[in-house]
């Protein structure tokens, strides 16, 4: 009997101790998160819009696709398959079939993908010649929209790019809380944060990067490469730092790119390690006119001038007409895999063969006297 009471008392004590320990650990976690967020400004939420940004409106052409962004919230994507010799109207609104019917063959899918897009402006330069935007793409068979960042510089779309300054400064300037300083346009030093992670504008979910690279350009032209990786931490304007001899540089600890958050330090540390230093970027860089946006590599899409100054219906008709004209082209017949070869033999003329044939002399004489 005494042993049974002792056993039940031990169970009650162990249960209470476990609940107390869990509540203590839970309380410590809440305090640590709260302390980490203290001292930082409230994160600005991105605002979605149905209207297409002015720099993005129109028709864009790439090596493997045509893309149209209409100001009537119409999005169309044509895949240029078979080495660009056939244009497949893969994604378009249902109203496009009323203008021109789609082809039906082994390449096309019926019906076309009806993709809905909303737009967010991340940053635009003061000259309004370049900007960074996020496309909130809602695919027909997906539950949630997908955020795809893009960059436009001088009528060209890039999928690999950086934005100068921290996210807090960029968000404040976009909301007009912090006016831009014209003197900073010519200054190339500072923090260039990664702002892209998608593989392209596609008819299905694109591939997103697990790691991105940001850079810090020093006063003497040295370039520090900073690696960021996917994180499950809550996004904030927190800072992290690294040093080079007696120089200390501060950058964003977290990056918010589309739907993902990246961080450059382990856990809650603010010390960046393993910084790589060089004198130039690894890829060919393209700057906008104000020096606030940097793009890498070749353009993903180039704007088509003919599709700019038109209404939505005229743009759609011109767009579909271009697709129809492209599909009328005929490719020349391919060269044979095994070309026909003839023997290299000199055939004598018939007159030379019959010159010394007596049986034909009479026939030749008759032909001459005809």
What would the DSSP string read from start to end of 209-269? Answer: -SEEEEEEE-TTS-EEEEEEEEE-SPP---EEEEEETTEEEEEESEEEETTEEEESSSTT-
pLDDT of residue 213: 96
Q: How far is 116 from 70, CA to CA, in rounded Å?
A: 12
pLDDT of residue 187: 66
pLDDT of residue 335: 87
Burial code (b: 16+ CB inside 10 Å, e: under 16) for 165-188 equals bbbbbbbbbbeeeeeeeeeebeee
Cis peptide before 154 (omega within 30 of 0): no
pLDDT of residue 33: 33
- The SS3 call for residue 19 is helix
Looking up tokens 């977290």, which residue turns up? 254
Q: How far is 172 from 303, CA to CA, in rounded Å?
A: 30
Query: 247-303, pLDDT tens digit by residue?
Result: 899 999 999 999 999 999 998 899 998 899 998 888 899 999 989 999 999 999 999
Q: How far is 263 from 253, CA to CA, in rounded Å?
A: 6
Binned at pLDDT 50, 70 and 90, residue 314 comes out as low
Binned at pLDDT 50, 70 and 90, residue 150 comes out as very high
Strand arrangement of the beta sheet that strand 75-80 belongs to: 86-91, 75-80, 65-69, 58-61, 301-303, 156-158, 146-153, 130-138, 116-124
Which range, 29-33, 96-100, 152-156, 216-220, has the best average confidence (pLDDT)? 152-156
Please check the confidence at residue 34 and state whether its pLDDT lies above 50.
no
Which is it for the CA torsion 359, 363, 366, 368, positive or negative?
negative
- The SS3 call for residue 6 is helix
pLDDT of residue 220: 86
Rounded mean pLDDT of the chain?
81
pTM equals 0.77
Query: 223-235, pLDDT tens digit by residue?
Result: 999 999 999 999 9
Minimal CA–CA distance to 275: which of 219, 227, 212?
227
Q: How far is 203 from 358, CA to CA, in rounded Å?
A: 83
DSSP 47: P
Q: How far is 59 from 117, CA to CA, in rounded Å?
A: 15
The pLDDT of 89-108, averaged and rounded, is 87
Q: Quick one: the chain helix, strand, coil %, rounded to 5?
A: 25, 30, 45
pLDDT of residue 340: 83
């Amino acid at each position: 009997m005494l042993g049974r009471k002792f056993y039940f008392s031990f169970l009650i004590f162990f249960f209470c101790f476990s609940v107390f320990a869990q509540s203590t650990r839970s309380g410590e976690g809440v305090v640590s998160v709260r302390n980490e967020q203290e001292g930082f400004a409230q994160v600005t939420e991105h605002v979605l819009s149905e209207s297409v940004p002015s720099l993005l409106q129109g028709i864009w052409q790439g090596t493997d696709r045509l893309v149209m962004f209409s100001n009537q919230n119409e999005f169309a994507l044509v895949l240029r398959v078979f080495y660009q010799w056939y244009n497949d109207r893969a994604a378009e609104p249902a109203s496009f079939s009323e203008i021109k019917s789609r082809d039906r063959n082994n390449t096309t899918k019926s019906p076309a993908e009806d993709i809905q897009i909303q737009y967010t402006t991340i940053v635009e330069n003061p000259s309004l010649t370049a900007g960074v935007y996020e496309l909130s793409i809602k695919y027909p068979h997906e539950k949630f929209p997908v955020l795809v960042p893009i960059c436009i510089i001088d009528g060209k779309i890039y999928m690999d790019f950086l934005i100068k300054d921290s996210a807090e400064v960029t968000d404040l300037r976009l909301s007009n809380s912090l006016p831009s300083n014209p003197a900073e346009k010519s200054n190339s030093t500072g923090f260039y944060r990664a702002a892209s992670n998608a593989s392209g504008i596609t008819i299905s979910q694109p591939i997103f990067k697990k790691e991105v690279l940001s850079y810090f350009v020093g006063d003497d032209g040295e370039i520090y490469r900073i690696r960021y990786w996917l994180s499950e931490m809550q996004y904030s304007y927190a800072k992290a730092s690294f040093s080079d001899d007696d120089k200390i540089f501060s950058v964003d600890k977290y990056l918010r790119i589309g739907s993902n958050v990246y961080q450059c330090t382990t856990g809650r540390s603010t010390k960046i390690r393993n910084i790589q230093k060089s004198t130039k970027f690894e890829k060919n860089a393209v700057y906008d006119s104000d020096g606030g946006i940097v793009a890498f590599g070749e353009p993903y899409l180039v704007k088509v001038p003919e599709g700019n100054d038109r209404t939505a219906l005229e743009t759609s008709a011109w767009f579909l007409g271009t697709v129809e004209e492209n599909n009328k082209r005929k490719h020349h017949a391919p060269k044979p895999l095994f070309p026909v070869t003839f023997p290299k033999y000199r055939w004598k003329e018939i007159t030379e063969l019959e010159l010394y044939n007596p049986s034909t002399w009479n026939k030749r004489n008759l032909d001459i006297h005809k």
